[in-house]
Amino acid sequence: MQIKLNKLVCIGFVLFLFLISAGICAADLVITPIEPKTISENERLNFNVTARDTENINATIRVEALNLPAGATFRPSTQNPDRYAFDWTPRNDSLGTRHVTFRATISGTNDSVSIIVPINVIGVDKTNLVQAIAAANGKIASVVPGNEINQYPQSAIDAFRAAISTAQGVADNTRATQTGVNNARSALATAEAAFDAARITSIDKSTLTTAIAEANAKASTATPGTGIGQYSQASIDTFRAAIAAAQTVANNGNATNAEVGQAVTSLRTAAATFDAARQAAPSSVTNLRETATGQSWIRWAWTNPNDADFNNVMVYLDGVLVTSTSSRNTSAYNATGLLEGSVHTIGIQTVDTAGNINPSIVTDQATTMTIDRAPPARVTGIKESNVGASWIHWTWTNPADPDFSEARIYIDGKLVTSTPNNDYNATGLSNGVEHTISIETVDTSGNINTEQVSDSATTLKLPVISNLEGKDIRTSSITLEWDASEDTATVHISQNGVLLANVTDSTYTHRDLTSSTTYNYTLVPYNQNGLHGEAVSISLTTSAASSGGGGGGGSSRKSSGGSSSTGSSSSGGGGGGGAGSVEDFVNVAAKDVDNEYLRMNQNVTYEFSREGNPIQEVSFYSLKNSGEITSTIEVLNNRSKLVSTNPEGLIYKHINIWVGKAGFATSENIRDARVEFIVNNSWIEEMEISAGDIKLQRYNGTAWEVLPTTLENNNTSYSIFEAQTPGFSPFAITAGKMLASANDGDMNLSNVEDIELEGTKAEKSRIWTYIMAFLLIGIIAVGYEYLKRQKN
């Protein structure tokens, strides 16, 4: 009995737990009720579907839509997981009632609940709109545009047609909503009402009546006559006839709008003609001004008025009538007999053909000239700003006088030039000599201040070499000896343009020479400041090897300030071919060659056109029948190896110019040599110089000389120059305000000289020597290996 009781207790406890669990898990799932929906086609329908568990707010609920219409969407809300959004815009193929079922299910269970929402889609009714469009088209088809009674303004017709077109667009739109159709019908009705109101029902004559009233008032106050402000009787009668014609139109009850408008226009034209007939004084002269003045006279000019009845002018001087011109074409007056430096006023009145005088006087004031007899002030602050061996550059401050014109420059008491500038560069001076500049000032009236302002300066003294000679001349060496001035610091010794040494002593021995060979030497002295003096040249010949014993012998010739001379003479006849290049290959940027046949007593011109070559022509006068001769241009990247120093100034291009072989281009064969070259204008602008600063410089074997250079022509791209040259050798196109060409007297342009190229040979390549050495070593190694294997 005890056992059965225990079993009953256990069974009861289990049932109790089951009932409790069942009570806990039971859910109450609901969907918020949704009313049936009615929507027109093409209009959007959207609403939310919300489901919840009233017993468990944390339950996860999924809602789905069954029988979802085509094109509709049903998506969960991103803000509320229990809310879903239904969205649908039905088209005309969706008319009728649709039943959409929404079912909510708790995740992980079979518990669910559903609701059905009827959606009734009704079609868009366009009947009223279509009928209104048809009626509007019928009305506008019969209207007449114009501004007469029962006509319509064109703007009203255009606006009504635009409203009809807009309404037709809505009627033709298959996606139009009922709201859009209703709005289109309302807008068309409004446009039609505005169109009806625009119909013209009467002619507006208010403008015409106003114009008639104004014309009558004007005519009633008009006074006939020929005086200022009066009218001729004919003009008054004509104006009154125009008023009467306008009044007739105003009184006509059947007058059209066009007739009224024409009447207004005609009356206004008649009023303007009547106003013009009013007698008035002529217009005043204009642009009265003095055109010239003298010590005792002033000339005035003016512009007469364009009035058709203008006759003449009355001229007053200082308030007194001096003349009345007899012609309408007179437009100037010359007042004479006036005092120097006096002020006078001219006044002019105009007169018409009826004798009416303009009371307004146009005036102008002018002063007779006063002679300037006072010279300008002197220049101040004169000083030398830079000094060279052959030039001195002076600067100063010109006076502040407004009429200052120029400064007259005297060098050592001699007038050399006049300049408006505040500087002068004296050139062609001797070295180590004191020179004095004196300056007078001149004004625009020609008054000269003869009180001179002076300054003295001394050109730099150049070192000098003298008594150059050869001593102890042997078969393989030559010793040079000379005397040098005390200011000589070093002497540059070169042989055929190639620098041999810089020495401080007065002797130099050149060794490792070839017997019976002539060597040309050039010595240039330099002082401590690097300033060089005049070059001195000498030609010496080594002793013959067959003489059997050392010392003595040899011939020598020396010269100063020019190119080297030798003891040998060139053979007669033509110069033949052309000069071979002595330049390193990498230094030659471009090479241009031209051949010409030289005949006696004829001008010869070599023309060059290769790109990158600034030399355009080389010309001279041929003295002999030399046959075909070649001229060669070498455009260099850097200065020639024949030259030891750069020329002064900015360097545009280094060039070698050769004519014939060495020794041909001399005064025995040619004369009057000239070089034509071009310089890019872009380089001139970049260097901030002018074309007048461009100079061609030539290396004469010892030093650079500035050649006479003139600007021949220019264009937008380049400038063309021509330079006279005493010979052919390395050249440089340069620029600089301080460069000065040698005077014709300082440079013998008729004595042509040639810079010889002997003694300079291109260095031979050793690459083949290395290749042959490697080949020989390879052959020996292969042979040795072969003999070694034969022994084994």
Burial class of residue 184 (count of CB atoms within 10 Å of its CB; 0-12, 13-18, 19+): buried
Nearest 10 degrees: Cα torsion 295, 296, 302, 307: 180
Angular region, 472: left φ>0, alpha ψ -120 to 50, beta rest: left
pLDDT given for residue 320 in this prediction: 93
pLDDT given for residue 260 in this prediction: 86
Summarised one tens digit per residue, pLDDT across range 548-573 is 333 344 434 344 444 333 333 333 33
Longest Cα–Cα distance of the chain, Å, equals 171
pLDDT given for residue 483 in this prediction: 95
pLDDT given for residue 750 in this prediction: 53
Residue 5 vs residues 10, 11, 14, 240, 673: alpha-carbon distances, Å: 9, 10, 15, 144, 152
Domains of the chain (ranges; CATH) run 29-122 (2.60.40.10), 127-197 (1.20.1270.90), 206-276 (1.20.1270.90), 286-367 (2.60.40.10), 380-458 (2.60.40.10), 465-534+542-560 (2.60.40.10), 585-754 (2.60.220)
pLDDT given for residue 770 in this prediction: 61
Is pTM, for the whole model, over 0.85?
A: no
Q: Which residues touch 469 (CB under 8 Å, ≥6 apart)?
A: 480, 481, 482, 538, 556, 558
pLDDT given for residue 171 in this prediction: 86
pLDDT given for residue 1 in this prediction: 44
pLDDT given for residue 206 in this prediction: 87
Instruction: Flag residues of the chain having pLDDT under 70.
Output: 1-27, 545-580, 737-770, 791-792
Q: Which residues touch 658 (CB under 8 Å, ≥6 apart)?
A: 578, 579, 631, 632, 634, 665, 728
Q: If DSSP states are collapsed to H, E and C, what string results for 330-399?
A: CCEEEECCCCCCCEEEEEEEEEECCCCECCCCEEEEEECCCCCCCCCCCCEEEEEEEECCCCEEEEEECC
pLDDT given for residue 115 in this prediction: 94
CA–CA distance, 122 with 40 (Å, rounded to integer): 5
